[in-house]
Amino acid sequence: MLDHITETRIFCPCSEKNLDWQDYPETLFDPSVCHRVSSLHFCPTCKSVKCFKCLEFETICKFCPRCYATVPNGLSYCNKSCFNCPRCHHYLNISAKTHMSSVNDKKGRSFTFTCTNCLWNLETGIISKPQALTSIVRKLDRNPVHTQFSQLKEFYVRQYEALKLQEQGSKIKHDLLARFSAIELASLTQRQNPVGFSESELSEEEELNEMRSRKSHIGSQNANDKLPLSQELSEKRSLRCKACRSVVLMPDSDPLSTRLEIPGAAADQLPSLLVTGYRNQPEPFRLKHPTARLILTLSNPLSESMDIKISTFEQLDSLGKPLKKDTKMEQDLTSTIGVHITCSEIQLGCKLESSSKPENYVKLIPTVKLTSRTKISRIELMRRDPDNLRNITWSNDEHWFDSTDSSGSVLDRGVNWSSVGINLSVGEGIALGTKINIPLFVGVTTKTSSYGMWTFLNAGEVVK
């Protein structure tokens, strides 16, 4: 049944420069501004869909995806005991061993990192002072580039502190003298270059050779020289609308919680639009001359009812763009696609309250999507209106083609959904293989808001 459904795209108007357009926005047919509903959000203040370009994110919390500990800002690795294998990136098991001296005094502990996947392991040697595993691993680092970086970092931290202290006057100068040796102080205040980064007295060629030798040293490290890799962090982000600055999505700050304080996904706010074939329709998305039929089903995700108005262009050219009014008469209609939607005003009821119960959930599934694979869906299928079931079931009977043509009412309806027919007339001149996307404007009115959006219904491909 899933082969009988295509995906609808939604237009985000953020690239539109001309805001007082007549028939449709200028950028409507730019494929880069049409998105899947799953990648869109909805701003209740602007009453508009928002793509990733319309939103900015703020970090709510950083946490380790392994131990779920919240990590303070500024750190980019887990500061607990989460490490990965430097050879295969599998997580590492850590075991500790206590060492005693000859007089039964505690001498210290050693730690062993073991990869259960590739069997890589590392023993730290005896550590006498209690300290965090991350700092033990850092001290084992013999990589000259990392050591040089640490020296450089330490140098600048001390220089910054020294200069700050100098500015605070002579009283603190005594503290400063106590903290640094005379030589260090002289080197700091004269702003000399840090250790190992002398102003280049080397020729260009010598410098290049030195860089090459450093690089080759890094490359020559084998798995035995490697250290456990710290676990990178995940973060929870909130999303803010760039246009009105209101928060569109806010997750709970607890890493273990999946609750949203402000849910902003477009799929939770907008009516869903689903294009399907009729029940038992053979190859519904292979459109043949002269006519083709599909079903559009709209569902309401809200707990309040929705009034929907849909409109489209009567005639599309082979690129799926509407024919301009003045050219309509001149244009050869054999190379156009006619679009007729059987009902343009639709009321959708609201979702059932306890819709997570299977017997209620099955009522929210439109009949075009309802299979007979489970007992509960077979029972539900028998409860559905037989006339409506006939409306949405494919038939080769000529009479059926007339009766479902333009009745002006919905073909089928349920608790929070309704199905209408899309009748297409495919001109002879339309090239085989042309993919038809029908632009559709959807106006939505609820008790609390009213807005409109452009969507594209994927109707399939023209075939012989």
C-alpha distance from residue 269 to each of 362, 437, 445, 453 (Å) = 20, 23, 12, 12
Cα separation, 441 vs 458, whole angstroms: 14
- Residue 158 makes contact with Zn ion by CB under 5 A: no
> Which of 5, 6, 14, 360 is in the footprint of Zn ion by CB under 5 A?
14
Q: Which of these ranges, 66-74, 253-261, 332-340, 379-387, lies near Zn ion under the rule CB under 5 A?
A: 66-74
Q: Does 92 interact with Zn ion (rule: CB under 5 A)? A: no
Tell me if 54 sits within 8 A of 242, measured CB to CB: yes
440 binds Zn ion (CB under 5 A): no
Euclidean distance between CA atoms 401 and 411, whole angstroms: 13
Q: What's at 119, amino acid-wise?
A: L
How far apart are alpha carbons 135 and 79 in whole angstroms?
Answer: 9
Q: Which of 37, 115, 306, 343 binds Zn ion (CB under 5 A)?
A: 115
Using the structure block, give the residue that is written with the tokens 């991350």: 134
- Cβ-based neighbours of 71, under 8 Å, separated by 6 or more: 62, 63, 64, 77, 78, 79, 233
Q: Is 75 near Zn ion (CB under 5 A)?
A: no
| Residue 32 touches Zn ion, criterion: CB under 5 A | no
Stretch that binds Zn ion, among 76-84, 171-179, 259-267, 412-420 (CB under 5 A): 76-84
- The answer to the question of residue 226 lying near Zn ion (CB under 5 A) is no
Asked if 180 is part of the footprint of Zn ion (rule: CB under 5 A), the reply reads no
Cβ contact 65:252 at 8 Å: no
> Count of CB atoms within 10 A of residue 438's CB?
22
C-alpha angle 427-431-437 in degrees, rounded to nearest 5: 75
The contact mask relative to Zn ion for 33-62 (x = CB under 5 A, - = no) is ----------x-xx----x-xx--------
Can residue 341 be called a binding residue for Zn ion (CB under 5 A)?
Answer: no
Exposed/middle/buried for 270, CB within 10 Å: 0-12, 13-18, 19+?
buried
Print the binding letters for residues 297-336 with Zn ion: x by CB under 5 A, - otherwise. ----------------------------------------
* Residue closer to Zn ion (CB basis): 15 or 423: 15
Helices (H) and strands (E) in the chain, counts: 10, 26
Yes or no: say if 112 and 137 are a contact pair by the CB < 8 Å rule.
Answer: no
**Pattern 228-247, Zn ion, x by CB under 5 A:** -------------x-xx---
Task: Compute how many residues bind Zn ion; rule: CB under 5 A.
Answer: 25
Given candidates 80, 109, 158, 384, which one binds Zn ion under the rule CB under 5 A? Answer: 80
Interatomic CA distance for residues 210 and 202, integer angstroms = 10
Instruction: Give the nearer residue to Zn ion in terms of CB position, either 122 or 292.
Output: 122
User: Least distance in Å: CB of 114 to Zn ion?
Assistant: 9
Cβ-based nearer residue to Zn ion, 53 or 328: 53
Looking at 117-125, 194-202, 263-271, 402-410, which segment touches Zn ion (CB under 5 A)? 117-125
Q: Which residues bind Zn ion (CB under 5 A)?
A: 12, 14, 43, 45-46, 51, 53-54, 64, 66-67, 78, 80, 82, 85, 87-88, 90, 115, 117-118, 120, 241, 243-244
